Structure 1
Amino acid sequence: MRRGDVYWVEFDPVQGSEADKSRPAVVVGNDAANRSAEIGGRGVVTVVPITSNIRRVLPFQVLIPARTCGLRADSKAQAEQVRAVSPQRIRDRIGRLPPRELKLLDDALRLHLGL
C-alpha cells in the first residue's frame, strides 16, 4: 500500500456529514506508516475519500478523470474529509493517482489544513 494508491474503503459507521458507505479513497499517508499499518495490522492509514458527485468542485477538492486511475466515473477527492482509518477497513486496490492529480491533492490538503 503506497501513497497515491486508490482503494475501496469501508467508511461505515459514520456520524453527521462524514463520507459514508464503501467508496474509493486515496492513500495520502507516508509509505513507512502505511507499510507498518499494513504488515503489523496495527496503526492507521490516512486516506482522502472520493465521490462521483462532481456538480461542484471546491478549491480543497480535486477532479479525477475516471480514465486516469481505474475509477468507474469522473470523480473528486475530498480533502476536507481526510481521515485515518484502520487497515481492516481497506479493501481492493482500484489503481493509482497520476503524479499531477497527487500534487493537486497535496495542494488541496495544504489549503484545507491551513499548512
Structure 2
Amino acid sequence: MSPRKPPPPRHTVAVEIAGERHVLRSDVSPEYTRSVAEHVDSMIRSLPSFPTLEPFRAATLAALSITDELFKAREEIARLRAEIERSVEDVASLLEEAVNSEASGSGERPA
C-alpha cells in the first residue's frame, strides 16, 4: 500500500469584495486568491447600479456576468481546438501526399 500524500497546505487570506471583508481558506496561493477576489470585486463595482444594489443581488449579477465570460471562453477554446485539429489533419494529408509522391519514384525535388 502506497503512503498517502499529505493534503496541500491551506492558506487563509483576507480580501475585500464590494466593501465587505471576507476571510477565505484555500489550497491555492494567496496571490491567486487575491486576484480572483479582485476580479469578483471589480465585476460587482462595474455594475451600473452597484451603489444602490442589495449585496446579494449585486453578487448574483456579478456571478451571471462572470459565468457569461466563462461560457464564452469555453466556446472560444472549443473553436480553437477544432481549428487546430483541422490544421493538423491538413498538414498530415500534405505530408502523406509528399511521402507517397516521393515513394512513387518521381524522386524529383522542386527547385
The two structures have a TM-score, normalised by structure 1, of 0.30
Higher strand share: 1
Larger RCO (CA within 8 A; separation ≥ 6)? 1
The two structures have a TM-score, normalised by structure 2, of 0.30
Larger Rg: 2
